[in-house]
Amino acid sequence: MKLINRPIYTERIRPFIGKGIIKVLTGQRRVGKSCILMQLMEDIKKDNPQANIIYINMEHEEFRMIHNDSDLFLYLKDRMPLDKNNYLFIDEIQDIEGFENVLRSLQAKDSCDIFITGSNAKMLSGELATYLSGRYIEFHIHSLSYTEFLAFHQLDDNNQSLMLYLTYGGLPYLSRLQLTDELAFEYLRNIYATILLKDVIKREGIRNVDFLETLALYTADNIGSLFSANNISKYLKSQRIDISTTQVINYLKALNNAYLINRIGRIDIKGLKKFEVGDKYFFEDLGLRNCHIGFNLQRDIHKLLENAVYLHLSLLQYEIYTGQNEQQEIDFIGIKQGMKVYVQVTYLIVDEKTQKREFGNLMNIQDNYPKYVVSLDEFNRGSNVEGIHHLHLADFLKMNRL
């Protein structure tokens, strides 16, 4: 299989090769973490043909005998000669119980350069964080960006390609399939089921599977909407489903831990105070959202636009919030290295009222950080209204920096 390079990630990781720090690639199942490991292995071999590379993929049958740290120690025992530069790559390491004990020992002995991947956020909030604090660096891998989607599928940048991206999302394997509902959605439904079963239900010990599926469906239908666990609990009770607020919170965390959905909080723009109530949720991949709930462009277009903008801000490594400026809502505030960016998202600016709402909310923010209105308008594409940039979604998604 020919690897298609994803330089946005390999160039971030490459400076840390051989620096004695564990490289942790996190992200949803099937977003391409394994292929990025392969690219890094190729780079290492080019620079050092004598490098001893050990690769373990916990999804492959030949490694099923590695269940815990003792099994892993045994497997590695005679595979790291002292006279070699050793590089250890482990895919889906969360499937090895006690893996952090092995990593801590290997790093203490400086036995090898370590690269691992994982599909569950709890991996970084548990023993790994406790035992290896300050000794690892995380790289979050997303499904394909719009630019990568065009490259993988060999498509021109036009409105038809953009709609394909908004419909089927960016899981890399789709580049081997025809982008049709029959083929693409069938593949995506299988991946969705695998994530729910392996990374949510099994790993989190979920008992009420029916409720989990209902909650995931509710979240998919309400991406970009402000809501709270308490409101969800009330809604479910109106549907004769009696679930406590605590259980809603725990199940949302489980979906979040598997990188299926992402939560963003709400802050007050003037003081950057965080509100206790009112989060937004977005899917990590648009295709997984659409295959799950069904796809209706007219009904869903604004939700998909917001989700696409969220994913791009995340790709650019912003800390993302939704903002409140007195009574006005700002769709996204991105914060990075003390700098901010504000983004409003709308389908089309069809009249003066819409323009006043979308641009006016940003005009009322009294600072000089970049401000954007993102839409699907073809007219006035790339225009500037009192310092606020009006961009077509495709142009926004192709930006490497804001």
- Domains parsed from the chain with CATH numbers: 7-140 (3.40.50.300), 146-397 (no CATH)
Tell me the C-alpha distance between 402 and 398, whole Å. 10
Worst-scoring range by mean pLDDT, 58-67, 88-97, 101-110, 123-132? 123-132
Structure tokens at 182: 């029959």
List phi, psi (to 5°) of 396.
-65, -45
- Kindly report, residue by residue over 161-199, the tens digit of the pLDDT: 999 999 999 999 999 999 999 999 999 999 999 999 999
- DSSP codes, 141-200: PPS--HHHHHHHHT--SSHHHHHHHHHH---GGGGGS--SIIIIIHHHHHHHHHIIIIII
Question: What single-letter amino acid sits at 346?
Answer: T
Short-list 128, 165, 118, CA closest to 289 = 165
Give the per-residue pLDDT at 286. 97
**Mean pLDDT across 280-299:** 91
Angle at 341 between CA 337 and CA 346, to 5 degrees: 150
- Indicate if the pLDDT at residue 383 is higher than 90: no
3-state secondary structure of 367: coil
Give the per-residue pLDDT at 275. 67
**Mean pLDDT across 366-385:** 90
Give the per-residue pLDDT at 277. 63
Among all chains, which residue has been given the structure tokens 């999302």?
A: 169
Among all chains, which residue has been given the structure tokens 């790093």?
A: 107
- Indicate if the pLDDT at residue 1 is higher than 60: no
| DSSP strand pairing (339-345 vs 319-325) | unpaired
**Mean pLDDT across 75-83:** 94
List phi, psi (to 5°) of 93.
-70, -20
Asked whether the beta carbons of 302 and 277 are under 8 A apart, the reply is no
- Indicate if the pLDDT at residue 74 is higher than 70: yes
Short-list 361, 367, 349, 236, CA closest to 302 = 349
Question: Please, what is the average pLDDT of the chain?
Answer: 92
Give the per-residue pLDDT at 271. 64
- Kindly report, residue by residue over 219-260, the tens digit of the pLDDT: 999 999 988 888 888 877 887 878 888 899 999 999 999 999
pTM check: above 0.85? yes
- Kindly report, residue by residue over 105-155, the tens digit of the pLDDT: 999 899 999 999 999 888 776 667 777 777 899 999 999 999 999 999 999
3-state secondary structure of 118: strand
Long-range contacts of 195-199 (CB under 8 A, 24+ apart): 195/28, 195/29, 195/119, 195/258, 195/260, 195/288, 196/258, 196/260, 198/29, 199/29, 199/119, 199/120, 199/257, 199/258, 199/259, 199/260
